[in-house]
Amino acid sequence: MVNSAFVSALSALMGTFVGGITSIATSWVGQRYQTREQMMSKEKGERQELYKQFIREAAALYVDALEHDTTEIAQLVNIYATINHIRVIASPPVITAANETFNDIIDAYGGENRTFADIKKSISDIRKSIRDDFPDPLQKFSEACHFELNS
């Protein structure tokens, strides 16, 4: 016959063991989830900073392209490096939009130089029509970044 004190002690030990394992598993899953969330938040912040950098560089080059028909190749180095950094961490739609933006900037250098009055008139025309002759080369990139960062 089994000793009832032995069964009671064994039951208490098993209860403690199961409770301990459950506590450890819960802590491990919670810590893993928290670490993952922190890592995703950090990566999102890094992407946001990179996208801001690209937008600043692209905007400056686009304005330069509107005013000039040539550029120093050295001025394109930073944006080229930024695009390649984007290729490492971004989604395909963001990469495609960055490449299209860069191509639009290069095309703008080949276009006619514009004055402030020309740009002001183009902006006024934009308000009057859906299609315009003053495209926003950063629009697709900004929209792709917005979608990626919010998904």
Query: For residue range 118-131, what is the model confidence (pLDDT) as tens digits?
Result: 777 766 665 555 44
| Structure token pair of residue 101 | 């933006």
**Alpha carbons 136 and 147: distance in angstroms, whole number:** 18
Which DSSP letter does residue 138 get? T
Cα–Cα distance measured from residue 26 to residue 20, given in angstroms and rounded to the nearest whole number: 10
Residue 16 predicted with pLDDT over 90 = no
What pLDDT is recorded for position 18? Answer: 80
How far apart CA 135 and CA 82 sit, in angstroms, is 22
Q: What is the pLDDT of residues 86-134, one digit of tens each?
A: 999 999 999 999 999 999 999 988 888 877 777 777 666 655 554 445 5
Q: 114 with 66: CB under 8 angstroms?
A: yes
| CA-based nearest residue to 145, from 81, 102, 93 | 93
**The model's pTM:** 0.66
Q: Is the pLDDT of residue 9 over 70?
A: yes
Break the chain into its structural domains and give their ranges. Answer: 44-150
pLDDT (0 to 100) of residue 93? 93
CA dist., res. 65 & res. 50, Å (int): 22
